[in-house]
A and B are shown apart, each in its own frame.
Chain A
Amino acid sequence: MRSDPALAHLAGVIVHDEVVPARAPWLCPVAKGQTLRIVDLEGNQAVDFLIYAAADDAERYSAQDTVSAQGNLFLREGTVLLSNEGNPMMTITGSAVDYHDTIGGACSCESNTLRYGHHTKAQHACVDNFLEANLRQGRGKRDIVSNINFFMNVPVEEDGTLGIVDGISAPGLTVDLRAEMDVIVVVSNCPQINNPCNGFSPTPVRMIITA
Chain B
Amino acid sequence: MSQTLADPKAARDHARAQGGTRVEAMPILPPVADDLPPGVAADDLVWEETLPGGGYASRRLARGTRLRLIDTKGDACAALNIFNAEMPTERLNVADTVKVQWNGYLGAGKLLLSDMGRVLMSILDDDAGTHDAFCGTSNAASNTRKYGEGRNSGDYPNGRDRLILGAAKHGLTRRDVHPCINLFKGARIEADGAITPQVGPFAPGRTVILRAEMDVIVVIANCPHVLDPRAGWHVTPLRATAWRGPITPADDPVRLAAPEATRAFLNVEDYFRR
Contact = CB atoms under 8 A, between A and B. Distances in A.
Given A68-B226, A110-B117, A114-B117, A140 B89 contact: yes
Contacts of B191: 155, 158
A47 B155 CA distance: 42
A64 to B, nearest CB: 3
Contacts of B96: 105, 108, 111, 114
B104 A103 contact: yes
A144 B115 contact: yes
B32 interface: no
B195 interface: yes
B170 to A, nearest CB: 13
B95 A105 contact: yes
Nearest to B172: A142
Contacts of B136: 62-65, 68
Interface stretch (B59-67, B199-207, B260-268): B260-268
B46 interface: no
Residue among A109, A142, A158 facing the most chain B CB atoms (10 A cut-off): A142
Contact of A160 (B93, B105, B135): B105
A161 B103 contact: yes
B11 interface: no
A142 B195 CA distance: 28
Given A64-B135, A68-B226, A72-B192, A113 B263 contact: yes
Contacts of A108: 96, 115-117
B100 interface: yes
Interface residues of A, number: 50
B91 interface: yes
Nearest to B87: A141
A84 B180 CA distance: 11
A29 interface: no
Given A73-B134, A85-B141, A105-B95, A67 B195 contact: yes
B180 A64 contact: yes
B93 A163 contact: no
B263 A111 contact: no
Report, as a range, how many residues of chain B touch the other chain. Answer: 35 or more
B175 A71 contact: no
Contacts of A142: 88-89, 91, 175-176, 178
Given A111-B117, A127-B115, A164 B99 contact: yes
Interface string B222-234: 0000110000000
Contacts of B226: 68
A145 B179 contact: yes
Interface string A149-161: 0000011101111
Interface in B85-141: 88-89, 91, 93-96, 98-100, 102-105, 113, 115-118, 134-137, 139-141
B151 to A, nearest CB: 13
Nearest to A109: B117
Contact of A58 (B173, B227, B260): B173
A88 to B, nearest CB: 10
A91 interface: no
A72 B140 contact: no
B140 A104 contact: no
Contacts of A146: 93-95, 179
11 contacts: A62-B179, A68-B226, A72-B195, A84-B139, A84-B177, A105-B93, A108-B117, A114-B117, A114-B267, A145-B179, A156-B193
Interface of B: 88-89, 91, 93-96, 98-100, 102-105, 113, 115-118, 134-137, 139-142, 160, 173-180, 189, 191-195, 226-227, 260, 263-264, 267
10 nearest A-B residue pairs (beta carbon): A105-B95, A64-B136, A110-B117, A86-B141, A160-B105, A74-B193, A156-B189, A73-B193, A160-B103, A141-B89
